Structure 1
Amino acid sequence: MADDWQNAMDHAVALARRAGEVVREALQHDRKVMTKSCSVDLVTQTDQKVETLIIQSVKEKFPTHRFIGEESVAAGEACVLTDSPTWIIDPIDGTTNFVHAFPFVAVSIGFSVNKQMQFGVVYSCLEDKMYTARRGNGAFCNGEPLQVSQQQDVKQSMIATEFGSSRDPEVVEKIFSSLKNILCIPVHGVRGAGTAAVNMCLVASGCVEAYYEMGIHVWDVAAGSLIVSEAGGVLMDVDGGELDLMSRRIVAANSRAVAERLVAEIDAFSPPRDDAPPLKP
C-alpha cells in the first residue's frame, strides 16, 4: 500500500505544479472576485477552476478516494473526514492575497487515511517553492530537507498568525487580546504571510518559531500540519490539548516549550467546527 500512497503523492505534486501555472496565469489576466460568507470571505473563479482541475484528475486516477475541498464545501457538500483515503484540498490558500496580487499564494493538498495525514503538499506558487512531507520520511522544500528552529526561548522567537475573515466584534476582540498578550511576552515580532499553509511551512523551515490561529479550516492546515511535524515540530490545540483538524484552532510550533508558552497567552474561542451539521433553516 505504501507504493500506492507514493503514487498518490507524486500525482499531488504534479497537480500542484499545474495548479500553480493556472494561478500565475490568472494573476495576469483574470481575478474576478466573488464573496462567500461575508464581504471579506473572498472566492474567485480561479479557486473554483483549480479545485475542479485537481478533483477531476484525482477521480480519474483514484476513483475510490474521497474529497474535502474548500469550494465544494462552500457549495454545500458535507465536510466529513472518514477512515477512507481522503484528499483535503485548498485550491488557493491566500485568496485575498491573490485578489490583491500580494505575493504569497499557495495550493495545499493533504491526504488522509484512517483520519491520519499520510502526505502533505504545499506549493507557494509565486515563490516557486514546493513543500512536501510523507509520514515518517521527513519534510522538504524543493527537495531540500526542512528542520524547525532550535530556539527554545519564546522571548527570542518570531510568531506567525492571521486575523481571519470574521468581523464579529467579540471575535476581533479575542484575536487582538491574544496578539497583545503574545507581543507583550515579549516576542521578537509577529508576522503573517496571509496564508495558513505558507505560515506553517515557515515554521517547518525554521523562519518562525510558531504559528497559531483560530477560525481557519481543515483544508488550510491539513497538508501543513504534516509538513510541520515531519520537520520536527509540534502541533496542539490553542487550549494545549491534542490537535483536532476539524476544530478550526491550531498551534504549530518548533517545540512544546514554545507552544505551551503561547497557549498560556491565547484568549481562546471556538468557531463552529468544520464537521458540524448544517444549521436548520
Structure 2
Amino acid sequence: MNVFSSPGTAAVETTASTETAELAALLERTVAAVEAAGELLRERHDVSARPGDLDEVVRAIYANDEAVMALIERPLLAARPGSRWVEDELASGLLPEGEWWVVDTAEGNINHIHGMAEWGVTATLVRANAPLLTVVHLPLTGDTYTAVRGRGAHLNGEPLRASAKTDLRAALVGTGQAKPGEAEEALRRTGASVTAMLLNALVVRVSVPATLQLVHVASGRMDAFWQFSDVRSGLLPGALLVSEAGGSVTDTRGEPWNLASADFLASASGLHTRVVDVLSDLA
C-alpha cells in the first residue's frame, strides 16, 4: 500500500471532499425550499375545482405559479451564490455558461387546478448544461425524490433502482404532451409512437406531467418514457433521477441526450435498444 500521496492527488481529493460536503448541504436546503413550496401548493389545492373556460384555466395556472415563485426563488438563489434563475419554465435549448436553477413551481399545474392529484414542485440545478442536483416533491403523498450527479437517486432517503426488465412485451411505458401549442409534427409523432408501442409493449400510458412518469421509471415501476419535446423543466429532473437509478437516458434515436436534443427517452437499460428500435422508425 502506498502511504504517500502526491500534492496533486491530495488537492483533487480535498476538492472532491469539499464539493461533496457542499452538495450535501445544498441538497438539504433545496429539499427544504421545495417542500415548503409544495406545502403552499397543497394548501391551494381544491379537489372540487372545475375551471369553466380557458380564461379561468389560464388565471388559475398563473396564480399558482406566482404564489409558489414568491416563496421558492429567493431561498434557492441564496442557497447557491452566483446561480441564476430560468424565468420561463416552458423554455428549451442550451443555457448560457454558469449554474442555473430550472424550477417548475407547479409541475402538473393543469391537474392541480382541476382538482386532480398528479402534481408537484421540482427544482434542478444545472451546471454547464447538465443537471447537477434535483429535488421532486409530491405534496399529497409526502414523497421527495432526490438525485445528485454521481451519487445516486433516492426516494425519501432510500436508493432507487430502475427496472430490470429486458422484454418489451412485458413493459409498462408512457409518453405525454409537453405543453399546449406543441408543433403539429411533434403531436403527430406522439400519436404514431403510441400506436407503435401499443403493438410492441404490454401497456402504454399517455398522461401529464412528464416528471410524474419519470419518477416511476427511476423507481422501476415503469419501464420507459419518451417525449417529442425539449422543454427543460419537464425533462431535467427525470433525466438525472433515471440515470442515477441505473436507467438509460438518450434521445429517441439512442444518441446522448442534452439540452440541445429535440426529443427524449428514458428507460430501463435492458429495454433501451428495443425501445429505440420502435421509436426510431417514426423519425
TM-score, length basis structure 2: 0.82
* Structure 1 pair 9–69 and aligned structure 2 pair: CA distance change class (3 A): farther
- 1:97 and 1:59 mapped to 2: Cα distance? 28
* Aligned length in residues: 261
- 1:167 and 1:64 mapped to 2: Cα distance? 33
Q: Give the superposition deviation at 1:100.
A: 1.1
- 1:242 and 1:41 mapped to 2: Cα distance? 38
| Amino acid in the other structure paired with 2:222 | V
- 1:88 and 1:181 mapped to 2: Cα distance? 32
| Amino acid in the other structure paired with 1:230 | E
Aligned with 2:272 (options 259, 264, 272): 259
- 1:152 and 1:29 mapped to 2: Cα distance? 39
Q: Give the superposition deviation at 1:31.
A: 7.1
* Structure 1 pair 62–35 and aligned structure 2 pair: CA distance change class (3 A): farther
Q: Give the superposition deviation at 1:146.
A: 0.8
Moved more, 133-142 or 152-161: 133-142
Unpaired segments ≥5 residues, structure 1: 270-281
- 1:230 and 1:259 mapped to 2: Cα distance? 16
Q: Map Cα deviations across residues 181-211 of structure 1 (whole Å, 9 max, x no partner).
A: 11111x1101245211111110011111011
1:18 aligned residue? 36
Q: Is 1:44 aligned to residue 62 of structure 2?
A: yes
1:150 aligned residue? 164
Q: Is 1:59 aligned to residue 72 of structure 2?
A: no
1:162 aligned residue? 176
Q: Is 1:107 aligned to residue 107 of structure 2?
A: no
1:176 aligned residue? 191
Aligned positions of 1:204-223 closer than 5 A? 204-223=218-237
- 1:144 and 1:21 mapped to 2: Cα distance? 22
- 2:22 and 2:29 mapped to 1: Cα distance? 11
Contact 1:31 1:45 in 2 (8 A): no
User: Secondary structure, in 3 states, of the residue corresponding to 1:118?
Assistant: strand
Q: Map Cα deviations across residues 133-158 of structure 1 (whole Å, 9 max, x no partner).
A: 11222111111111111001111100
RMSD: 2.9
1:97 aligned residue? 111
| Amino acid in the other structure paired with 2:272 | A
Contact 1:16 1:123 in 2 (8 A): yes
- 1:2 and 1:35 mapped to 2: Cα distance? 46
Moved more, 240-249 or 91-100: 240-249
User: Secondary structure, in 3 states, of the residue corresponding to 1:211?
Assistant: strand
* Structure 1 pair 160–62 and aligned structure 2 pair: CA distance change class (3 A): same
Q: Is 1:27 aligned to residue 45 of structure 2?
A: yes
1:84 aligned residue? 98
TM-score, length basis structure 1: 0.82
- 2:44 and 2:33 mapped to 1: Cα distance? 16
Q: Is 1:4 aligned to residue 22 of structure 2?
A: yes
Q: Which has a greater percent of helix? A: 2
Identical-residue share of aligned pairs (%): 26
1:242 aligned residue? 256
* Structure 1 pair 116–174 and aligned structure 2 pair: CA distance change class (3 A): closer
Give the greater-gyration-radius structure (CA): 2
Q: Give the superposition deviation at 1:16.
A: 1.0
| Amino acid in the other structure paired with 1:12 | T
- 2:182 and 2:250 mapped to 1: Cα distance? 25
User: Secondary structure, in 3 states, of the residue corresponding to 1:28?
Assistant: coil
Contact 1:97 1:105 in 2 (8 A): yes
Unpaired segments ≥5 residues, structure 2: 1-18
